Amino acid sequence: MAFSYDDIADAYAAGVDAAPYNALYERPAMLELLPPVAGCRVLDAGCASGWYAATLAARGAFVTAIDASAAMIAHARDRLDPAWLDGENARVELRVADLEQPLAFAADASFDGIVSSLVMHYLREWGPTLDEFRRILKPDGWLALSIHHPMADTIRLDPARYLDTELVEDYWKWVGTVCYYRRPLSAVFNALTAAGLAVERVVEPLPTDDFRRRKPESYEQLLKRPEFLLIRARPVLSERPHRPRVEGAWPSSDRSRP
C-alpha cells in the first residue's frame, strides 16, 4: 500500500489543530509528560505541521524539527514565527529527514530530549530508529513518544493474529485513507529495551473536559478504551555497546516504507 503524508499534508495541516483526538486528548497528555525544556536542545522527530515545534520553542527550547514529508515541513514553516527560524533569536531548525534513515545531521549525545508524537507507528522496524535516538541523546536525556494504543488498534482492526506486526489501512474522515503498522504491546517495550532505553513513565491518557464538551460519546468510550499510549524513556546508563549509524543508509530490504 503506497502511502505518503505529502499526499494528505494540506488536509492534515488544515484539520489537525481542530481534531479533538489530537488537540484535546494527545497534546495535553504529552505536554504533561514532558520535563522542563527551557534552554534544552530538543528533536521534534516527525514534526508534521509544526505544532510541537512551535510549542517547544515558546517554552524556551532550541528545536530541530524533522519530517520525511517536504509538504509537512512547508506547513511547519508557515506556522512558525519567522524570527524563530532565522537570525540571532533563531530557535527552530527545519529539516526534511526520514526516521527510516540515519540521522546523519546529529552528533552523538547532542540532544537533551526527543519528542515523537504519533509517528512511530508509521515505521515497521523500530530498532534502527531507536538506536539513533539513543545515540543522539545525552546520557541524562529523555525520549517522549506517543503511538496508537495497541489494544485500541486490535479492537478496531480485528487482526487475525494479535502478535503480528502488520501494515494496515485506516480511514480518517477529516484526512482520508492512511496506512500504518499495528503491533502488539510487547513489541513496543521490547524494542525500547533492546535499544538501551529504560521506560520511566507510561501514560494511558484521559480525555480532557474540553474533549467531553466537544464529543461526549467519544469521551465515554475513551474512559473505557484509551486510543493512545504515551511513554517517556531515558538511556540506560551502562557500557552497553551500540553501533554508530551516522554514515550510509540502511538496506531498503530492511526498512520498507508503506
| DSSP characters over 102-129 | --TTS-TT-EEEEEEES-GGG-S--HHH
**67 grid coordinates:** 519530517
Per-residue pLDDT at 179 exceeds 60: yes
Query: What are 130-147's pLDDT values in tens digits?
Result: 999 999 999 999 999 999
**Which residues does residue 214 pair with via DSSP β-bridges, in sequence order?**
none
* Residue 254 within any structural domain of the chain: no
| Residue 253: per-residue pLDDT | 33
Domain annotation covers residue 70: yes
Range of the domain at 89: 5-235
pLDDT bucket at 173, cuts 50 / 70 / 90 = confident
Q: Are 197 and 130 within 8 A, CB to CB?
A: yes
CA–CA gap between residue 144 and residue 175 (Å, rounded):
25
Asked if residue 258 belongs to a domain, the reply is no
The span from the CA of 230 to the CA of 182, in Å, is 16
Is residue 244, in this structure, part of any structural domain at all?
Answer: no
Does 242 map to a domain?
Answer: no
- CATH number of the domain that residue 174 is part of: 3.40.50.150
Domain count of the fold of the chain: 1
Q: Distance between CA 116 and CA 48 in Å, rounded?
A: 10
pLDDT band at 2 (very low <50, low <70, confident <90, very high): low
Nearest alpha carbon to residue 140 among 244, 40, 38: 40
Q: What is the pLDDT of residue 257?
A: 33
Instruction: Say if 243 falls within a structural domain.
Output: no
125 residue type, one letter: E
Q: State yes or no: pLDDT of 250 exceeds 50.
A: no
CB 197 within 8 A of CB 133: yes
pLDDT single digits (tens) 41-75: 999 999 999 999 999 999 999 999 999 999 999 99
Q: Looking at the domain assignment, is residue 113 inside a domain?
A: yes
pTM recorded for the entire structure: 0.90
CA-based nearest residue to 196, from 255, 136, 118, 119: 136
What average pLDDT score do residues 158-180 get?
Answer: 92
